[in-house]
Structure 1
Amino acid sequence: MIRSVTMARAVAAALLLLAGAVRADAGATFRAQFGDAFLDRYWALQPDAAIAVGYYRYAARIAVPDAAYRARRLAFLERSIAALRRLPEAGMDAAMRTDGAVLLSQLEQERWSLAEFREWQWNPSLYNVADAFALLLNTPYAPEAERLRTVSQRLTQVPAYYAAARAAIARPVREQVQLAMQQSQGTLDVFGEALERQLAGSALRADERARFLQRLRAARVAVEGYIAFLEALDQRLARDGGGRDFRIGRAAYERLFGYAIQTGVTPDALHARALQEKERLHERMAELADHLWPKYFPDQAPPPERVARIGQLIARLSDNHATPAGFYDEVQALIPRLEDCVRTHQLVDLDPSRPLAVRVTPPYQRGVAMASVNAPGPYDATAKTYFNVTPLDAFTPAQADSFLREYNHWLLQILVIHEAVPGHYVQLVYANKTPSRIKSVFGNGPMIEGWAVYSERMMLESGWDPSPEMELMYSKWLLRVVCNTLLDYGVHVRGMQEDEALRLLRDEAFQSETEARGKWRRAQLSYVQLASYFAGFSAIYDFRESLKQQLGERFDLKKFNDRFLSYGSAPVAVITPLIGAADVSR
């Protein structure tokens, strides 16, 4: 009997050693095939994307988007996907399995987009060199003279880039043509007088400056030629038609949704949940409106219709808003207050060595959102994170008033929570610190947007402005998130028309005219992205609540937030199996 037990233990020990060896072999194989060397090859094919994550080895290159380039990239994707599928998943630990899953999904989406979706053919706004140039000029990853020499080399490739772009475009979406025209004008600003002044004051030799100016002029001519091409294209599409509908249709939507969302929900199920949530929010908002009505309309009977009652009260509250001149300053002033609240309530760790810089949105990034965050990648994590705020100077007085009423005293706070603290800015700082390069650089939209929406709810739950006015306005904001899903699905799957979309946004989501029309424009220019907010938020919140239910008073919110963010920007469905109740318990 003793001998049998001893033998069993020996066999078990041998099996454990063998399993360890298998895991070690699998881990070594994964690191060898999909470690830094693989990512280097990936960035070599996509140097602009590399610059965006702080990888500057190929910064002097521009990927000229011609047929030969697409063939090289497709071949790389095919080889990489095949190699990933051959890996012995059973021998990998959880971290590597999830890295593999994130990478496989990323590469498969890129292959599908390149070979089947073919957005490169019908979306002219994809072709824009401005962002990478602006990052190289404004990010002090190297001495200025070195960066200007890199920019000079890139400038030589700009004419070929735009020539290839013109050759690639066929049956474009007219709305994307118009966006490309607007943003390409912003590219000329990047290549404008400010760059010439920077060059004149630099340490470059006189001959280098002369070559730079020559190349800069040729690049401007190339961008101007692309704009002229787009203007002619827009006129022809207006006159003769022949362009592609901006709606991508059910089949493409479901395929893209599967790649992009990754929360374990289907488009139909998410749409159905959004409809239910819209009704729940309307019920709660009606209760709040009844409570607040005597305070704001003491001598007026409320209208009998629920949405009319809610809408009238929201309109009155929206009178409390910033001025056009003071909007930027109010955004800036909110950030330290939010940081103090996060620290006081111990919601999540903040890193004082990574400050957030508020700036006016660069012209080449305008035309889609009024506020956004540009964060550095993990390769250059010490670079600045920018909170972009688009100025209102392009608005008419009526448009500016409509915008400011939408982002009134209460909703401006929610906006800054979402974009900055503890929303996108905080999450992306965490993402840059994750040990997994793959989970950091290949960010999942629903996780990123879902965290920002979740952070809004968390801040209010933690005591940020507990007034009924804030709850009503926050409910309106969450209704916007819900209606983003209804709009996105409705437009691209069900063929929703503009009048129906505007009724949804104005009459049921209580959005201002400017905001509603801006969102309609966004729905024409994007696909699935608008659904990512509600999908990600729902998945994160449901997961947190399930852990709270298990643990009760032992649940530690800060531990949950820190642990959840520690996995970079991986999909929610990838993160949730990695966190157990013991990880977030006091």
Structure 2
Amino acid sequence: MAFSFLLAGCSKAPSEKAEIDTNVAFDQYKNAFLESFWQVSPEYALYNGRYEFASHLRINDAAARAADAEFISQHMALLAKFSVDELNGTNKGDWAIIDNELRSWQWRLSTFKDYQWNPSHYNVAGPIGLILNTEYAPIEERLAAINERLIKVPAYYQAAEANIVSPALPQTLLAIDQNRGAIGLLEGGLQEAIESAAISEKTKQDLVMHTQQAVAAIEHYVEFLEQMVPALEAGGAKDFRIGEALYEQKFSFDIVSEFSAKQVYEMALAEKAKIHVEMATLAEQLWPRYFPEQPMPEDSLILIGRVIEQVSLEHAKPSEFVAAVQTQIPALDAFVVEHDLMDTDRNKPLVVRETPAYQRGFSIASIEAPGPYDSAANTYYNVSPVDDLSPEMQESHLREYNSYTMQILNIHEAVPGHYTQLVHANKSPSLIKAIFGNGAMIEGWAVYTERMMLEQGYGEGQPELWLMYYKWNLRTVVNTILDYSIQVLGMDEQAALALLMNEAFQEEAEARGKWRRASLSQVQLTSYFTGYKEIYAFREEQKQRLGEDFNLKAFHNEFLGYGSAPVKVIKDNMRAH
């Protein structure tokens, strides 16, 4: 690379001039790293707002993985040329993030190899849906980009079928469901866009033909997976549990914590016991209100469960679930502004919508935010409707996401949780921190805001809201216990459901959904509790350190100003001044 001579020279002299040169060189390196990274990861570029890559569909074959390995090797060598001690605080953090990203990527290719056993990694719908829904260019240009992608879809799924040699059953079933959703996108929303676009008849015919070929390729992939299912169900599937060694390695790369996975698991067990005490106190307070003529149960877990059952009956109607989410967002935004909790930006649109079919099956609500290169684009708050569930499952879901819990959910997902954090992240001067977001920081921040909002007076101390907050927070804690217990300790579905329903007071539908999620992913469920504990403890540390000079809004703005960096990186920077 053109700047490599500078890297070799600027890491030797310890003078102030050398430090300046090292940071200049590292800034040049970061830009070059990203530009070369987009070449091997065009879908990731697209999700970050680099729409010139919209027509690029990466085919995950052996040649692509060899190119990945070469990219990793080259950049690990380039990164090693820098003396970290000579970098400023921002660049030290960026160096650590790039280093972790490269080592994690290398580990996935050489050790984890989930491209061989996770069929749900292969789905062309996401980028196509993003191109259709993001008005970064006239629809005619966007359809041209989609057309280029469609041409490569058959080769994409041929590579996928060649890669899948030892699939796990839950991931296979998810891939079947989500790729059926992809077919729905191509035959539905894409066809509507083609028919209404001002393009020539020949262009329309080409798009329709390539769409049909893409649909056929997806159908073949679905059939390929469906044919494997009987053998997988009969015992031929790879165990979706990854075991202790791989779990600790993945935790280290994904979470970037000061703790090990086992330590966080043990912290979560202790936290669960503390929350049960808090919930019992609230349940005792609420019992006379809901059961005025009945004696209070002596067993605290039964007491808590009975009160939760009654409070949970206050919920939205099935047909109004998504709309109920939407109506709460302005009130949360107004509370943040009124109490001056952090900077907000009302010019960044948040669109509440039903979760697209090709994204359903993993969680009931999620934020889909634009990348830092297109930070003005819509942020979508995806909420899965409950209309198509059976009446029993509808009621179970609605009790789980009752009128109180829904407020906590909206704080977490929207304001001032994920949506607010990602708006700040896209303004970060460090593209590296914005692009390579750390899951524990992102999820930890959202969990932190739930408690912070109630501490600042949201809900006016309503005991029902605090009880449901603790139930929701208990979900965060139990997520960690559940994930570690399943992936490392071998917990089965029956024991998992007992934990979730009896000790975390979750409805059966939610508990079964969480079992499914824990069988589909690893480590991610620990990110909520790990990040939350580290952020909350750091805030209390800063309060002690700064005394009367501590300002909550200033703390929030500075913390968020470091983008989606690992909490450890943010703490190091904030402690330095």
Same fold (TM over 0.5): yes
The 8 Å contact of residues 231 and 237 in structure 2, kept in 1 or not, is answered as: no
Alignment-derived partner of residue 552 in structure 1: 547
- Per-residue CA shift, 1:42-76, capped at 9, x if unaligned? 11111111111111222211111111111111111
The 8 Å contact of residues 247 and 495 in structure 1, kept in 2 or not, is answered as: yes
Alignment-derived partner of residue 402 in structure 1: 396
Alignment-derived partner of residue 150 in structure 2: 155
**1:27-426 correspondence to structure 2 within 5 Å:** 27-35=23-31, 37-239=32-234, 241-426=235-420
Which AA in structure 1 matches 2:297?
Answer: P
Which AA in structure 2 matches 1:293?
Answer: W
The 8 Å contact of residues 547 and 581 in structure 1, kept in 2 or not, is answered as: no
SS state of the match for residue 318, structure 2?
coil
2:431 corresponds to 1:429: no
Which AA in structure 1 matches 2:271?
Answer: E
Using a 3 Å threshold, how does the CA distance of structure 1 residues 315 and 581 change in structure 2: closer, same or farther? Answer: farther
Alignment-derived partner of residue 510 in structure 2: 515
Greater displacement, 280-289 / 162-171? 280-289
How far apart, in 1, do the equivalents of 2:536 and 2:284 lie? 28
Which AA in structure 1 matches 2:197?
Answer: S
- Residue 18 of structure 1 deviates from its aligned partner by 6.6
How far apart, in 2, do the equivalents of 1:263 and 1:456 lie? 21
Runs of 4+ in 1 over 4 A off after TM superposition: none
The 8 Å contact of residues 374 and 388 in structure 1, kept in 2 or not, is answered as: yes
User: Which sections of structure 1, spanning at least 5 residues, go unmatched?
Assistant: 1-16
- Residue 171 of structure 1 deviates from its aligned partner by 1.1
- Residue 581 of structure 1 deviates from its aligned partner by 8.9
The 8 Å contact of residues 550 and 581 in structure 1, kept in 2 or not, is answered as: no
Which AA in structure 2 matches 1:378?
Answer: P
Q: CA RMSD in A?
A: 1.2
- Per-residue CA shift, 1:430-487, capped at 9, x if unaligned? 1101000100000000000000000101110111111111111111111111000000
Alignment-derived partner of residue 4 in structure 1: none
Using a 3 Å threshold, how does the CA distance of structure 1 residues 581 and 58 change in structure 2: closer, same or farther? Answer: closer
SS state of the match for residue 358, structure 1?
strand
Alignment-derived partner of residue 537 in structure 2: 542
- Per-residue CA shift, 1:204-226, capped at 9, x if unaligned? 22221111111111101001111
How far apart, in 1, do the equivalents of 2:508 and 2:192 lie? 41
- Residue 512 of structure 1 deviates from its aligned partner by 0.5
2:484 corresponds to 1:489: yes
The 8 Å contact of residues 55 and 149 in structure 2, kept in 1 or not, is answered as: yes
Which AA in structure 1 matches 2:18?
Answer: V
- Per-residue CA shift, 1:487-506, capped at 9, x if unaligned? 01101111111111111100
- Per-residue CA shift, 1:274-298, capped at 9, x if unaligned? 1111111111111111111111111
2:436 corresponds to 1:442: yes
- Per-residue CA shift, 1:227-246, capped at 9, x if unaligned? 1111101123224x321001
How far apart, in 2, do the equivalents of 1:384 and 1:412 lie? 22
**Which of 436, 447, 458 matches 1:464?**
458
Which AA in structure 2 matches 1:464?
Answer: Y
The 8 Å contact of residues 127 and 162 in structure 1, kept in 2 or not, is answered as: yes
SS state of the match for residue 79, structure 2?
helix
**Which of 539, 553, 556 matches 1:561?**
556
How far apart, in 1, do the equivalents of 2:549 and 2:189 lie? 56
Which AA in structure 1 matches 2:532?
Answer: F
Greater displacement, 183-192 / 55-64? 55-64
Which AA in structure 2 matches 1:188?
Answer: I
2:496 corresponds to 1:501: yes
SS state of the match for residue 380, structure 2?
strand
SS state of the match for residue 343, structure 1?
helix
User: Which sections of structure 2, spanning at least 5 residues, go unmatched?
Assistant: 1-12
Alignment-derived partner of residue 573 in structure 2: 578
SS state of the match for residue 157, structure 1?
helix
How far apart, in 2, do the equivalents of 1:84 and 1:511 lie? 47
Which AA in structure 2 matches 1:29?
Answer: A
How far apart, in 2, do the equivalents of 1:421 and 1:33 lie? 35
Alignment-derived partner of residue 18 in structure 2: 22
The 8 Å contact of residues 443 and 570 in structure 1, kept in 2 or not, is answered as: yes
SS state of the match for residue 76, structure 2?
helix
The 8 Å contact of residues 474 and 504 in structure 2, kept in 1 or not, is answered as: yes
Greater displacement, 263-272 / 216-225? 263-272
The 8 Å contact of residues 319 and 387 in structure 2, kept in 1 or not, is answered as: no
What TM-score do you get using the length of structure 1 for normalisation?
0.95
- Residue 34 of structure 1 deviates from its aligned partner by 2.5
Which AA in structure 2 matches 1:225?
Answer: H
- Per-residue CA shift, 1:133-191, capped at 9, x if unaligned? 11111111111111111111111000000000000001100110000000001101121
- Residue 107 of structure 1 deviates from its aligned partner by 1.2
SS state of the match for residue 422, structure 1?
coil
How far apart, in 1, do the equivalents of 2:217 and 2:478 lie? 40
Alignment-derived partner of residue 11 in structure 1: none
SS state of the match for residue 122, structure 1?
coil
| Number of positions where the alignment pairs a residue of Structure 1 with one of Structure 2 | 564
Which AA in structure 1 matches 2:17?
Answer: A
What TM-score do you get using the length of structure 2 for normalisation?
0.96
Kindly name which structure, 1 or 2, has the bigger radius of gyration based on alpha carbons: 1
How far apart, in 1, do the equivalents of 2:14 and 2:159 lie? 54
Which AA in structure 1 matches 2:496?
Answer: A
The 8 Å contact of residues 551 and 581 in structure 1, kept in 2 or not, is answered as: no
SS state of the match for residue 367, structure 2?
strand
SS state of the match for residue 387, structure 1?
strand
SS state of the match for residue 195, structure 1?
helix
The 8 Å contact of residues 439 and 570 in structure 1, kept in 2 or not, is answered as: yes
How far apart, in 2, do the equivalents of 1:196 and 1:327 lie? 29
How far apart, in 2, do the equivalents of 1:29 and 1:342 lie? 40
How far apart, in 2, do the equivalents of 1:539 and 1:238 lie? 40
How far apart, in 1, do the equivalents of 2:576 and 2:556 lie? 13
Which AA in structure 2 matches 1:491?
Answer: I
How far apart, in 2, do the equivalents of 1:407 and 1:136 lie? 32
Alignment-derived partner of residue 475 in structure 1: 470
